[in-house]
Every structure is written in structure tokens, then in C-alpha cells.
């Protein structure tokens, strides 16, 4: 039996294109499930902080942050947000930048590693992104993160202990070091079977195509 294709995804839960990329990846893989020899795929999410200098409680909205730290005017930010909201809608996502609470994401990444250790990584990543972009929830404070962990079925007390002890901070840093080693400078970034790199929120068809290609290469190699 052929082993599953490994797809390693570097992303930040506060990256709008990462959530779109996640949804497009899922849609693309779903397209392949009806194949006679459907690819088996295992997806793992890895930590990448787009704005590690952001305070947990940022005084202002996302447009203020972009103006202060990225030199982008509020007008430019509004245009960017309008565009990405439309792209997100095409992927079946509902973004609300007017509700968004910009924050530091390192604790959210620690929580995703805690969830991974407890078999809930994909669910936790999805919950955090939805909380941030759709619901305007705060995803930087321990209390808020513990509540979100409980919503996906994780033990709240264990999640709190993991976050307060920084138990998974080394895992976050290891992901970031691997991203640097790969030369990843922006996210989302997808590494397929450790040999193919795919940058950006590609359309579902692109993910379906590469899954089929790699699966076919596997089958050819095993037959030879």
C-alpha cells in the first residue's frame, strides 16, 4: 500500500491568504476523492509569524497597524481588504476586517502545536482562522485561546497549562527555523512530499493537479 503524500503547510492564522489557501487546498484534495486511484494525503500545519513584533493588545485596528508598521495608508488598506474579502468569498469564506482584532500570534501557534499533540491540529487551525477573520475574536490572549481550544474538544485546563508554561514555544521556533532553511519568506507555502514547493493561495485545481501528479509518480516508482 502506498504511503500518504505529505503536505506541509507554513502559515499564520492572521494571514488572510493562508485561510484562503487552506480552503483551496481542501477543495482541491476533495476533487481527487472520486478518482479510481484517489491520492491519500496527510496535511500538517507549521508556524510562521508574519508580524512577530505585534503586541498582544494592539491599540488600534488592522489599518492602523498597516499604516504604522508597513507604510500603507488607510485608503490603500481598505482597497486591499476589499479585494481579499472578494477572493475569500469565492473560496466560501466570509471575512470581516472591520471586526478584526490584530494581535500577536505566537500563543495561537503554540496552541496549534498543543492541538497537534492531541490529534486536533487541523480543527484548531480552522477554528483560530474563523475566529480571527470571520468572528472578530481575540486570538492572542491565553483566556481567549483556552476557550477556543475547548470549542474543538480539547481539555481546557491542559491547554491553559501548555500555553502558560510555553511548553510548545520550542516547536514554534523549530517550524520557523525550518521555514528559514527552506528559504520561505512568505505564506502560505506548501511543501509536497519534501520535494515540491508551492507558494501562495493557489486555486483548487492546482492542488488537485499536484496531488494527482505526485500520486502518479509514487505509483510509477513502486511499479518499476
What's 137-165 look like in SS3? Answer: CCCCCHHHHHHHHHHCCCCHHHHHHHHHC
Mean pLDDT on 161-165: 98
Place of cell 494571514: 15
Q: Using the Cα atoms of residue 72, residue 76, residue 80 and residue 81 in order, give the sign of their dihedral.
A: positive
pLDDT band at 1 (very low <50, low <70, confident <90, very high): low
Within 10 Å of residue 50's Cβ, how many Cβ atoms?
A: 14
Within 10 Å of residue 192's Cβ, how many Cβ atoms?
A: 18
Domains of the chain are 5-51+104-223 (3.40.30.10)
Q: Over the chain, what is the mean pLDDT?
A: 95
Q: What is the pLDDT of residues 104-159, one digit of tens each?
A: 999 999 999 999 999 999 999 999 999 999 999 999 999 999 999 999 999 999 99
Q: What is the pLDDT of residues 63-88, one digit of tens each?
A: 988 888 889 998 999 999 999 999 99
Closest residue by Cα to residue 7 from 209, 219, 197: 197
DSSP string, 34-65: GSTTPPPEEEEEEE--S-TT--SS-SS-HHHH
Three-class secondary structure assignment of 60-107: CCHHHHHHHHHCCCHHHHHHHHHHHHHHHHHCCCCCCCCCCCCCCCHH
Closest residue by Cα to residue 103 from 142, 50, 54: 54
pLDDT band at 222 (very low <50, low <70, confident <90, very high): confident
Pairing of strands 5-11, 41-47: parallel
Return the axis-axis angle of helices 121-133 and 16-31, rounded to nearest 10°. 130
Within 10 Å of residue 77's Cβ, how many Cβ atoms?
A: 19
pLDDT computed for residue 55 by the predictor? 93
CA distance 101 to 175: 25
CA distance 156 to 147: 7
pLDDT computed for residue 88 by the predictor? 98
Q: pTM here?
A: 0.96
Residue 189 has pLDDT above 80, yes or no: yes
Amino acid at each position: 500500500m502506498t504511503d500518504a503524500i505529505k503536505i506541509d503547510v507554513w502559515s499564520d492564522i492572521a494571514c488572510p491568504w493562508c485561510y484562503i489557501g487552506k480552503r483551496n487546498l481542501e477543495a482541491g484534495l476533495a476533487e481527487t476523492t472520486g478518482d479510481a486511484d484517489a491520492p491519500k494525503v496527510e496535511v500538517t500545519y507549521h508556524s510562521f509569524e508574519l508580524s512577530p513584533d505585534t503586541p498582544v493588545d494592539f491599540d488600534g485596528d488592522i489599518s492602523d497597524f498597516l499604516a504604522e508598521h508597513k507604510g500603507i495608508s488607510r485608503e490603500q488598506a481598505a482597497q486591499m481588504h476589499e479585494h481579499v474579502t472578494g477572493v475569500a468569498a469565492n473560496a466560501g469564506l466570509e471575512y470581516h476586517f472591520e471586526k478584526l482584532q490584530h494581535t500577536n500570534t505566537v500563543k495561537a501557534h503554540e496552541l496549534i502545536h498543543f492541538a497537534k499533540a492531541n490529534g486536533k491540529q487541523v480543527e484548531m487551525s480552522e477554528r483560530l482562522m474563523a475566529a480571527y477573520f470571520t468572528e472578530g475574536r481575540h486570538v492572542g490572549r491565553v483566556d481567549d485561546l483556552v476557550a477556543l481550544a475547548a470549542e474543538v474538544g480539547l481539555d481546557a485546563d491542559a491547554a491553559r497549562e501548555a500555553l502558560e508554561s510555553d511548553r510548545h514555544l520550542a516547536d514554534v521556533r523549530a517550524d520557523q527555523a525550518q521555514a528559514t532553511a527552506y528559504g520561505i519568506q512568505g505564506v502560505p507555502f506548501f511543501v509536497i512530499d519534501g520535494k515540491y514547493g508551492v507558494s501562495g493561495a493557489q486555486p483548487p485545481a492546482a492542488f488537485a493537479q499536484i496531488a494527482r501528479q505526485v500520486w502518479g509518480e509514487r505509483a510509477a516508482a513502486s511499479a518499476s
